[in-house]
């Protein structure tokens, strides 16, 4: 029994109950190499980043996906994989994540992250991409920098692959991602947040009477 055989799970908010329970059951258990691989694969499949792992020995850690991928889900959030930094809006602080789910229905109480409010809000969107995102700078880094704008979209810097719900992929770079749920150019912002009075203030999610309208 060695330290590097010991697996420790670190979880955030419970989004995928089944996975979290499974991980808790093996916490601090010594795993044979075959099982370790299986557990890591399960954890890395978690699209929201709610499941994470770290080796106590400081061994192999999860690698960020290259290129970064922004997946537009049907009736749900934007799932992003890659080397992602998210400005917290407090001083110069930012979060660094490999996997994250961003709210795009406008109703999350944990903006800019998804908290599954799209289900109760009955958010409707086909997970398609309106228009063609341009790649203006072929040298732009694949690491993504996200900046949530108060009462507006999430600005993204960096290059990425944009994936529709049916798996169709196109390359993109930069842009503003809608998070109010009302853009006619989803997943991008078209300015509709101003007309609908979208607010990112805590508690403002209750005030938005209509969400959706996607194709
Ligand atoms: S944030 Fe939705 S249209 Fe701008």
Question: How many Å apart are CA 91 and CA 114, to the nearest integer?
Answer: 23
Give me 183's structure tokens. 């853009």
CA separation for the pair 99, 48 (Å, rounded): 6
Ligand 1 contact via 200 beta carbon (within 6 Å): no
> What residue owns the CA closest to ligand 1's atom 4?
189
Is residue 68 within 8 Å of residue 38, measured between CB atoms? no
CATH 3.40.5.90 residue window(s) in the chain: 69-205
Strands (E), 56-211: 69-72, 78-87, 94-102, 144-148, 154-163, 169-177
Q: How confident is the model at residue 154 (pLDDT cuts 50, 70, 90)?
A: very high
Instruction: Inform me whether the pLDDT recorded for 130 exceeds 80.
Output: yes
Residue 105 beta carbon below 6 angstroms from any ligand 1 atom: no
User: If you average pLDDT over every residue of the chain, what do you get?
Assistant: 80
Q: What is the pTM of this model?
A: 0.81
Question: 153 CA distance to ligand 1 centroid (A)?
Answer: 5
Closest to 34 in 3D by CA, of 7, 68, 71: 7
Residue 164 pLDDT grade (very low, low, confident, very high; cuts 50, 70, 90): very high
Q: Which fold has domain 69-205?
A: Ribosomal Protein L9; domain 1 (3.40.5)
């Amino acid at each position: 029994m060695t330290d590097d055989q010991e697996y420790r799970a670190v979880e955030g908010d419970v989004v995928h109950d089944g996975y979290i329970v499974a991980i808790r059951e093996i916490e601090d258990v010594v795993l044979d190499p075959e099982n370790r691989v299986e557990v890591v694969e399960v954890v890395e499949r978690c699209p929201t980043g709610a499941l994470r792992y770290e080796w106590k020995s400081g061994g192999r850690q999860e690698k960020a996906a290259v290129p970064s991928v922004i997946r537009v889900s049907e009736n749900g959030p934007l799932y992003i994989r890659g080397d992602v930094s998210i400005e917290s809006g407090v001083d110069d602080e930012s979060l660094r994540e490999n996997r994250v789910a961003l709210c795009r229905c406008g109703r999350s109480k944990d903006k800019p992250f998804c908290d599954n409010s799209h289900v109760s809000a009955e958010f409707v969107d086909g997970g398609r991409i309106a228009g063609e995102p341009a790649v203006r700078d072929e040298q732009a880094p694949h690491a993504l920098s996200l900046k949530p704008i108060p009462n507006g979209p999430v600005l993204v810097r960096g290059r990425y692959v944009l994936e529709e719900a049916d798996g169709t992929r196109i390359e993109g770079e930069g842009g503003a991602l809608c998070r109010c749920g009302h853009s006619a150019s989803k997943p991008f912002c078209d300015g509709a947040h101003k007309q609908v009075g979208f607010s990112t203030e805590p508690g403002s999610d209750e005030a938005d009477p209509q969400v959706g309208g996607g194709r």
